[in-house]
A and B are shown apart, each in its own frame.
Chain A
């Protein structure tokens, strides 16, 4: 459940917004708010995730603190997102661990690395950690194929299942029901999501490192497409192995390595950029809990990408065994925490965008 104070505060602040409407051009949130006269839990769940956190509304608001109306929409919606991730996380007990996201991410990632290294030692002997391995199938002499694939598939299924449960619950709540998931709305939302149109602040950019910055959108694009490149690299590698019997490591000029390297660099640069932006930003229009979630997620991503690139760089040396263990361990940490971390934001935001596309279709003859 959302905290009652937060819902009441949402209602109070958006009553001010609806009497003003100056921020209508920045993003979808204010157009959505104008369709409502009172704001409850469903609206909080919906609007929080429709917000892309560009913070322009705070910068442009003549009622932001120290004005007595104390309007700070980005802060309230960021807190709403943090609470969304917990509320729709399954099982709830587990999701609750992420109230202290940095601790949770550190513990699970560290545990992932330790367990993986122990597994390497148990299956291939302690010497595998610092023995040079070359040629086809070198990785599998450190981590046996079955020891890699079975946990990977299990983690993937677990992650997808939990995200699906959250998505269904969330969609049912904000819908209400599922009627809003029409093909037209989904198509529109997909466009909005892939272009990150609402990080443009209506053309003015974001209020972070400086007013009107477009950097956040650029760095987010790098992380997103980097992540997809790495996913594609893994898929191509699985096909190469499964259908053509070619075992990793692959040559530097092979599709999986090129895709993986591009993706890795994208994530390293993008995540570092997002962290830097967050550090330079005004802390007022933000939620402490959400900021901690952002840092925890970005740091985990950064660790996975850096260890992956290090493994590529040093795979022909005797450090390969240890690096492989650490990289896989970091991945375990990433995928165990993913369903409760900031990772999930794309699920709720996408659904909120679909809902928005759906409810705005009737008012499309009016300006958004």
Chain B
């Protein structure tokens, strides 16, 4: 006896794609979302575009972005560390995503200002991720998917290699849903600071979490508890530099700081610690979170001057500002003499004559400085002086469960569970084991959400 054919654990993009697809294939579906209704949607709320291969322009993206090109991009950012068959499957399935999304009511818009470089490879959905989530929920509910909010999945109950029921908590009470298949799409564990501390120690206390406070990895743990095989580096975090004044959770995209290449970055001791001119966007985003996480107090400061003010995307907080470097140091509670020395040493090492070109890796470098600044080096000498206080901002974790091409979860013994599926962040480590490719997290979530929904419904739908 089952209460429902398919239980979907989670409430973001992958979960919704799975629920919609399972329902469209005739299964009865219950979706368990840990968040309350106004915070539903997990980290999908903070997304804005999705990457997919396409031939010729369509409603969502321009020109052609071939399967080979997408696969090459993926191999490049992961340095080849990917499950090749699953990666190829994702790329192939991405071809139909834009049209499928439209069928669920999603609308496309032109790329946002400042993101034109993504216009060919990525589709921008109207209104961003929360609007996407709202659209999917409306479609799912209209199709007859039952949605339970504030329902945190605690355990998966198995009989051998088959899931029999899912246990969840709500308002302090425990509920059990018997099901013919379960799909876990409940994100990573980045919102569980205690879990992060297992790998990062006390430093994790200082991490800011850019997304939902509900990604505590409980469903992920539940899968490990029944013998799911782990994939991805547990220590692996996608982490960028965010404003230290940002909220602990859910600061989203608006707290990211893109000022580092325009000046220097110093730690709490007033010392530089890495080449600020190493690389172009978007790679530079991905490295600074981890760099700051390794500094004392997990704190750093981006220091720049009036010359470059206004040359980067404005963030939600205004930079701190002072007429002299000494006073700026006082504002930042740094040792003033130390900061002044660092800036003077930097200024003295800037090779004269170069004209900074911000869009390319230019020739403006420092000489005889350790660490060097290899591009865009220019003196910090025009008052007033500015600073952003920085902290690591965690976007997602890479740890997940291993899955097969049917999105079925793999057990320790190498066999797959009969009816336990996973999609989204909790399995994206199979494909994106490291690095970052804008909009590709959603691609994996949508592709495997659809596969999981279809497979779960196909095997267990009532005759």
Contact = CB atoms under 8 A, between A and B. Distances in A.
Contact of A22 (B48, B105, B110, B313): B48
Interface in A142-199: none
Contacts of A20: 128, 252-254
Contact of B107 (A63, A69, A203): A203
A19 B310 CA distance: 13
A59 B112 contact: no
Interface stretch (A23-31, A85-93, A96-104): A23-31
Q: Closest 10 A-B residue pairs measured CB to CB?
A: A22-B128, A25-B109, A367-B110, A19-B254, A60-B131, A60-B127, A62-B45, A19-B316, A25-B126, A62-B130
B311 interface: no
Nearest to B125: A25
Given A19-B316, A37-B310, A211-B138, A60 B110 contact: no
A202 B310 contact: no
Interface in B90-126: 105, 107, 109-114, 116, 124, 126
A25 B110 contact: yes
Interface in B216-273: 247, 250, 252-255
A21 B110 CA distance: 12
A367 B127 contact: no
A185 B123 CA distance: 31
B62 to A, nearest CB: 11
Interface string A244-268: 0000000000000000000000000
Contacts of B116: 366
A16 B245 CA distance: 14
B161 interface: no
Contacts of B126: 25-26, 202-204
Contacts of A368: 110
Given A19-B315, A67-B247, A69-B316, 9 more contacts: A19-B313, A26-B126, A56-B131, A59-B134, A60-B128, A60-B134, A62-B128, A67-B250, A204-B127
B247 A23 contact: no
A68 interface: yes
Given A60-B130, A203-B126, A18 B314 contact: yes
Given A16-B316, A24-B113, A202 B252 contact: no
B112 A21 contact: yes
A202 B127 contact: yes
B113 A59 contact: no
B46 interface: yes
Interface of B: 38, 45-46, 48, 105, 107, 109-114, 116, 124, 126-131, 134, 138, 247, 250, 252-255, 310, 313-316, 318
B145 to A, nearest CB: 17
Nearest to A368: B110
A18 B138 CA distance: 28
Given A62-B250, A67-B250, A23 B107 contact: no
Contacts of A67: 247, 250
Which of A26, A57, A62, A63 has the most chain B CB atoms closer than 10 A to its own CB?
A62
A57 B128 CA distance: 10
B127 A22 contact: yes
Contact of B109 (A24, A62, A68, A211): A24
Contact of B128 (A15, A19, A23, A34): A23
Contacts of A22: 48, 112, 127-131
B113 A23 contact: no
Interface string A330-348: 0000000000000000000
Contacts of A242: none
B127 A37 contact: no
Contact of B134 (A19, A66, A68, A211): A211
Contacts of B250: 62, 67
Interface residues of A, number: 33
Interface in A58-113: 59-63, 66-69
Contacts of B130: 22, 59-62
Contacts of A34: 113
A56 B316 contact: no
Contacts of B138: 211-212
B107 A204 contact: yes
Contacts of B111: 367
B314 A202 contact: no
Contacts of A19: 253-255, 313-316
30 contacts: A15-B316, A15-B318, A16-B316, A19-B253, A19-B254, A19-B313, A19-B314, A19-B316, A20-B128, A20-B252, A20-B253, A21-B113, A21-B114, A22-B48, A22-B130, A26-B127, A37-B310, A56-B127, A60-B131, A61-B130, A62-B129, A67-B247, A68-B247, A202-B107, A202-B127, A204-B107, A212-B138, A366-B113, A366-B116, A367-B112
A211 B141 CA distance: 13
Contact of A24 (B112, B247, B255): B112
Contacts of B314: 15, 18-19, 37
A62 B46 contact: yes
Nearest to B111: A367
A24 B110 CA distance: 9
A212 B252 CA distance: 25
Contacts of B131: 22, 56, 59-60, 204
Given A22-B48, A22-B127, A25-B127, A202 B109 contact: yes
Interface string A45-63: 0000000000011011111
Contact of A62 (B112, B252, B313, B316): B252
B344 to A, nearest CB: 31
B88 to A, nearest CB: 32
A68 B213 CA distance: 13
A62 B138 CA distance: 17
Interface in A340-368: 366-368
B105 to A, nearest CB: 8
A63 B46 CA distance: 10
A118 B34 CA distance: 67
Contacts of A57: 127
Contacts of B129: 22, 62
B127 to A, nearest CB: 4
Given A19-B314, A68-B247, A63 B110 contact: no
Contacts of B109: 24-25, 202, 367
Interface string A1-44: 00000000000000110111111111000010010010000000
A122 to B, nearest CB: 60
A26 B247 CA distance: 27
Contacts of A15: 314, 316, 318
Contacts of B114: 21
Contact of A63 (B113, B134, B254, B310): B254
Which of B46, B116, B252 has the most chain A CB atoms closer than 10 A to its own CB?
B252
A184 B314 CA distance: 32
A366 B250 CA distance: 30
Contacts of A69: 247, 254, 316
A80 B116 CA distance: 33
A68 B255 CA distance: 13
Contacts of B112: 21-22, 24, 367
B302 to A, nearest CB: 15
Contacts of B254: 16, 19-20, 63, 69
